[in-house]
Amino acid sequence: MNGNSNGFGSAAAAADYIRRHHLHESGENQCSSVLVKHIKAPVWSLVRRFDQPQKYKPFVSRCVAQGNLEIGSLREVDVKSGLPATTSTERLELLDDNEHILCIKIIGGDHRLKNYSSIISLHPVIIDGRPGTLVIESFVVDVPEGNTRDETCYFVEALIKCNLKSLADVSEGLAVQDRTEPIDL
């Protein structure tokens, strides 16, 4: 498990959330990992927007969603230059407003993340006396030909860490302006 634990929330609670929500069936030529981050703000209102990942994902320049944002809905994501991709087609696998869980699967695009699937779950915590969020994101993906498991996991983890840092920056900025929706504790 990678991440920032900052001493908020218990490791046992995080391990329990991972056991309950982040089990991936990993094949022989796949890698998977789990990242954990504490954010000093509620974040569900940003994360749940399957149709607007660009609100906090710095590598997304544009997103066009199809459908009513229900399971099976698709989004076409344009990736900013600098990454080895320009587009990604993603399907919404789960959007649970009660448990605060979002699952997506990449089903196409011009990149090397084949059979990529991710789960992000959000858990309320109190940080410095204010509502915060324990964010857990896990993934599984095929290891591309010519790469090792370690290289693949390192690359995907780096992307997710950038996304989580941006999520923290955006949501904490909104919290300072008091523009976020609290999550029930």
* CA 77/CA 62 separation, integer angstroms: 6
Which helix (H) or strand (E) segment is 74 a member of? strand 74-79
- C-alpha 166: how far from chain center: 11
* CA 86/CA 71 separation, integer angstroms: 25
Lowest mean pLDDT among 24-33, 34-43, 140-149, 154-163: 24-33
Is the predicted pLDDT of residue 147 greater than 90, yes or no? yes
| Per-residue pLDDT reduced to its tens digit, 47-72 | 999 999 999 999 999 999 987 889 99
Domain segments of the chain as ranges: 10-178
Q: pTM for the complete prediction? A: 0.85
Query: Is pLDDT larger for residue 62 or for residue 9?
Result: 62
pLDDT of residue 27: 80
Name the CATH superfamily, with its identifier, for domain 10-178.
START domain (3.30.530.20)
| Per-residue pLDDT reduced to its tens digit, 110-132 | 988 999 999 999 999 888 888 89
The first and second tokens of residue 64, run together, are 């066009």
